[in-house]
Structure formats: structure tokens, C-alpha cells
A and B are shown apart, each in its own frame.
Chain A
Amino acid sequence: MHLMYFTEQPMSAYPEDEGLKRGATALMFSNRHFDPVAGSRLYNEYLEHYRLAEEVGFDGIMLNEHHNAPFCMQAKCNVFASILAAVTKRVKIVLLGNPLPLADNPVRLAEELAMIDMVSRGRLVSGFVRGGGQEQLATGVNPAFNRERFEEAHELIVRAWTQEGPFRFEGTHYQHRVVNPWAVPLQKPHPRVWIPGVLSKETIIWAARQRYPYIALSTAIDATKKIWELYDSVAREVGYTGGPENRGYLQRCHVAETEEKAMANARQFMWMQGEFTGLAHPVWSSPSGYFSPSYRKAFVEFAVGRAANPRAAAFEEQIREQQIIAGTPKTVIPKLRRLLEETRPSILGFWAADGFVSNQDTTTCIRLLGQEVLPAVREMGKELGLWSPFEANAPVSITQPAPPTPRNGA
């Protein structure tokens, strides 16, 4: 198994009452509520948490990015990836990921990622995402071409990594008359690419077609099983058998020394009414053209307040469905076992705390995970045959049948 630590890097020092009063804390919620003094403190705390995660035995650190919102302070995951490349020694740096459509110059992104891979001595896993709906608006990128830009930028980056330059790229959305970046990845043929997602069938199908592992972000167990049914059926179509090495899952999992404390802290996963969209305005989080046409009816009804957020569920329901797990190590381990048995992922991210959980409680949580939970999960992984892409020497992609080298850093 590949076990990762994750935090959204919440900007918990923002005035929550202002957010609740405004009713939406993304995109148009004024940045006058951002306090850079608290921001500086929090960034450094989060950095300490990452170092601790490596120390207590996590295999990877998962990073992401969002824009114009307190629920995530990372505006550029490559910045923290660069820092971690230098200050950590062993963990994989797992970006889930760079929002490709937001990039106007994917070659530049390819260069940044190659630099991170070299500085970290081959520890980069470079995931790619479409970016949330409001991210398109925050960066002025046309939501109607989101998926086209995603696929085209991906093609250009992989070519920039694998094809000797100079070459010319004339796409629909990207045109580069000279592609010849001197920074190229250490890992050959290129760093592993993992694709996280929540809802879009199109993304699952695309990831399966590429033979890229798909990372389900905190979906309910039944929904996760449906994801793997779809993924595996596409895998069969394109000529391989899907298995644990293709499956990842991000689990919100808070552990503490007592049940009561764990449950109280776990409620912070619902801060700003929960979900990674926070108090997102439904129109901003799903701009026209961004979401799949098959969800059009659901989203237009959501946009005018006629239906509930198709992506949201109440805390109690998320506890029941194990989208959130909370407790002492003793009580969370059987729940994790159920997750592993029923959905068989080999990549497991632990989203350990959110919102206003104190620095001390977060630190305790990371220690308990490392000391008591991770060893138990590793044993279960062995027993259940959940070999990660690294352990299984899985190919990088459908077009690159070899596992990447160097395998464990240069």
C-alpha cells in the first residue's frame, strides 16, 4: 500500500462569521478577510505537519491547490512541492494535482514539475485535475473548454517530458512553435500520473483509458464501488485488467486519544458547511459548460436553490457512510478494514484534520496515525494483496508499459 498524508491547508484564521453572513466563501468572498500574519503562521505549521508525517512513516504527502477561498491556502501546489523536495528525504511528493486547464503555458508547468522531480531525486507523482468550477472564474479561464484544455495540456506535458526537443505543437487551445525545455524529469519515461476526482464519469473513463490510477476523493463506499466497476470495464476494453494498483482513495480520518475528542474534531471536516467546495455559491462552483451535460438538470436546479448540492451530504450521513472516520486508533482500524475489503484501493490518503482543529491535536493525530494506524493498515494491505503501483511495478501509462526508473530515487 501507498499511504499518504493530506491536509487542505485550511485558512482557519479567517472570520467565520463573515463567511456565514456572506453565504459563500469562495471566489467573491473578499480577500480583506485574509490575514497574512495568521497565514504565515499556518503555512509554517502545515510544513511542520508534513515533516512529522514523513518522520512517523507515511509513504507520501499529497498536495493540492485552490483559489480565492479560505478552505485551502495553497494557491500553487508546485510551491509546496518544491519546498518538500528539499526538506524531505523519503516521501513521495504526490500532487493531486495541478489544474491543467488553468495553465496558459503547459510547457512551463512541465518544466516546474521536472525541476521538482530532479530536486526531490525522483520522488514526484504528478497528478492532474480539471480544477473546480470557481477556479475557472478565479483565473479567467473559459469553463466551456475545460475538458478540452485538460486533455490537450496533458498531451503537451507528456510530450515535453518524453519527446526530444525541439518540436512544434499546434493544438486547438495551445500553440507552441518551439517546445524544447531543458528541465526534464529524472524519472523515465516520466513521473507517475494519478488522477483524482469526485463525480465526473468522463474523468474516470479518461483515467482508465490512460491506465492512470484514479483517486476517489472521499466518496461513499457504494459510490466508490461503482467507480471501480466503470474503471475496470474501460480497462478491459482497452486491454488490461484493473486492480488495486489502479485504485486510490482519500479518506477523511481523524484520530485522537478519546472517542469524544476525535468526534468533536471530525466535525471540523464540515467547517463552512463542509465539502471541499465550502460555502460555494452554486453558480460559481458549476459555471455553464464546466460540468458534464448529463448533470445539467441537477446543477441548474442546484444553481437556483431548487435542489440540494449533488455533491454534499450531512455530517451524520458521512460518518455512517464512512466518508468521515473518527475515533481512537482502536476504533478506526476496523472501519479502514471495511474500506479496504470492500473497495480494494492500494493508494490511501489520510485527510487528517480540517478547519479549526488545533496544531496540537493535528500533531497528535499524525503521531497516532503513524504509530498505530499505518502499521495495521500495511498488514491488512499485505493480507488483502493491495499492492501499490510502486510495489507492483505497474506501468506508468497505457503507452509507457515499463515502470519508471530510478525506482527509489537516484
Chain B
Amino acid sequence: MAPTASALAWTIEEVRVAGSSVRLRTTGRGAPLLVLHHDIGTPEQLPFYDALAGHFTVLLPSHPGYDGAERPAWMRSVRDVAVTYQALLATRGPADVSLLGLGFGGWIAAEMATMAPRAFRRMILVGPMGIKPGAGEILDQALVSYIDYVRAGFSDQAGFDRLFSPDPPTPQLEQWDLNREMTFRIAWKPYMYNPTLPPLLSGVQTETLIVWGRDDRIVPPGCGEQYARALPKSRLTVVDGAGHFVDMERPEALAKLIVQFAAES
């Protein structure tokens, strides 16, 4: 079935954090959930957001420098983004927030958790970057085109075609290029991981659900087991019929896992 996004109503605000403007979009009702998007940015609307909005107050910032958001010239690491979001939550966010990190956003969420080991209600990491794979490699986007990189994140190419069209328009490519440039600015070397993250994860007390798409060709699924070993209160679930972009390929299934996990006491 082809899921299509509704025109979900978002509140958009610009919040001054760490000397820059962070664009924060909010929708839905329920317990607050900070959703951190992929390195490719995010479409304005996704069926996945529809599925979440019925259960959560979804807080969806654009990462600094992504999707047209202001680029802080000083920013040099994913940890800088994580600190910025801690400041965002301190000024604007409600209490008792849960974190949902998608891919690259999962790495940001994991960094945030290490900074405040007791602060978050729950954490869900979906195919997160951030740990050096014990086996295999994180796909180097510098070597593949924008389209090929995003396609590599889908297990079924029909999903890509549906969301981005078989031949995405040039403005979409320019956006992916801008997002890629920002990724290079903060995650170039080592590429897509932080060697000091795994030891720090051992101090995190937040209950964590780790989700991996079985056909993830961007981050080796073995990283899921590495995360599960590093995070004391975590468990790993693998989703069939999905690559790296589980949220785009299996929105209902992922949302259901998250809703169930959030409901656990």
C-alpha cells in the first residue's frame, strides 16, 4: 500500500539558541517527543509524522544548517548539535521529553543522552550512526550521488519513487547538497562516528529502544548490537522490509513500536 502524507498542521517558530536561530516545528497532542531527522534532512510532511501526531506532541527541529536552517559557522561536531538541542529544550522544551533519533539524528540523540543520563523519559534510536562498526563500513556519501545515497537507504526503490519521485527535481538535489555540506562540516573525520561515544553511553540511565531496518545498507546492522551492548537499559528490534530509512519505508510499523515502548511503565 502506498502511504501518503496528510497536510498535518505544524506550528513553526524560530528559537534563538547558542547564537543562532533554530527552526522548530511542532504538531500533535500527547507526551512530548523530540524527533531528530536524518542527515538527508526531512520532507515537510511524512506519513510517519501523521502516525506519531495522534500519540505525541512532536517537536521536530531542523538541524542547524539543514533544510534551509541557519548554518552556525562555528559548529564542528555532532556533539555541538547535541549541546545546541539541550539548550533548545532548556529554553523552549517541555519537561519529561522522550528522544527519537533517526539515523544521523540517532547519533545526536545518543550524544544528548550521554550529557544528561537521567533527563529523558525514553529514547528510541533508529539505525543510528555514531559508533565505529565492528564489521563493515558506514556508507561514504562523498563517493555517491545525492540520489544514489538516498536510494541506498531504501530496501524497496518504490518507496523512494513515491516520496521523492523517480527523478527528483533540481531544488531537491540542491537541498541534499546543502545538507551534505553541513554533514561534512560536523561529521567528516572520523566519518559518521565518535570514538568517545561508546564508553560514555555506559552511563546513560534512559530506557532505550534500538530499531534497525533489516536491509540497512547505510549503517551496518551490527552497529545495533554494539549500541545495545553500550547502553545499559536498552533492547534491539529489527524491522523487516526496511532499509536505513525505516521511518519512510515502514511508518506505521515503526510508529507502533514507538507508541508501545512509550506506554511501558
Residues on A facing B (Cβ under 8 Å): 27-28, 137, 140, 142-145, 282-284, 287-289, 296-297, 299-301, 303-304, 306
Chain B residues with CB under 8 A of A140: 189
Of B153-161, B174-182, B255-263, the segment with at least 4 beta carbons within 8 Å of chain A is B174-182
Q: How far is the CA of A372 from the CA of B181 in the complex (A)?
A: 50
Query: Does B188 make an interface contact (CB < 8 A)?
Result: yes
Q: Is the interface of B mostly helix, strand, loop or mixed?
A: helix
Query: Which B residues from 122 to 150 make CB contacts under 8 A with A?
Result: 142-147
Give the complex CA separation of A18 and B211 in angstroms: 42
Question: How many interface contacts (CB-CB < 8 Å) are there between A and B?
Answer: 59
Chain B CB within 10 A, most for which of A288, A297, A299: A288
Residue from A140, A145, A284, A303 whose CB has the most chain B CB atoms within 10 Å: A303
Q: Note all chain A residues with C-beta closer than 8 A to B121.
A: none
A300 lies within 8 A of B174 (CB): yes
Say yes or no: A296 contacts B143, CB within 8 Å.
no
**A300 touching B177 by the CB < 8 A rule?**
yes
Q: How far is the CA of A287 from the CA of B149 in the complex (A)?
A: 13
Check if B142 sits within 8 Å of A137, measured CB to CB. yes
Given contacts A297-B170, A297-B174, A304-B173, A144 and B143 within 8 Å (CB-CB): no
Evaluate contact between A288 and B173: CB separation under 8 angstroms.
no
- B207 vs chain A, min Cβ distance (A): 36
In contact, A142 and B189 (Cβ under 8 angstroms): yes
Residue of B nearest to A303 (CB): B145
Closest chain B CB from A133 CB (angstroms): 10
Query: Provided the pairs A140-B189, A288-B177, A306-B170 are in contact, do residues A300 and B146 lie with their beta carbons within 8 angstroms?
Result: yes
Could you pull out 18 A-B pairs where Cβ atoms are within 8 angstroms?
A: A137-B142, A140-B189, A142-B184, A142-B189, A143-B184, A282-B145, A284-B142, A288-B142, A288-B177, A288-B183, A296-B177, A296-B178, A297-B170, A299-B177, A300-B173, A303-B145, A303-B146, A304-B173
B contact residues around A297 at 8 Å (CB): 170, 174
Asked if A142 contacts B185 (CB within 8 A), the reply is yes
Does the CB pair A304–B145 fall under 8 Å? yes
Contacts of B177 in A (CB 8 A): 288, 296, 299-300, 303
Q: Is the CB of A137 within 8 A of B174?
A: no
Closest to B188 in A: A142
> Could you say which residues of chain B place their CB within 8 Å of the CB of A143?
142, 184
Asked if A144 and B174 make an inter-chain contact with CB atoms under 8 angstroms apart, the answer reads no
Q: Give CA–CA (A304, B146) in the complex, Å.
A: 8
Task: Give me the 9 closest cross-chain CB pairs, A-B, nearest first.
Answer: A289-B181, A288-B180, A288-B181, A300-B173, A142-B188, A144-B184, A144-B185, A300-B177, A283-B145
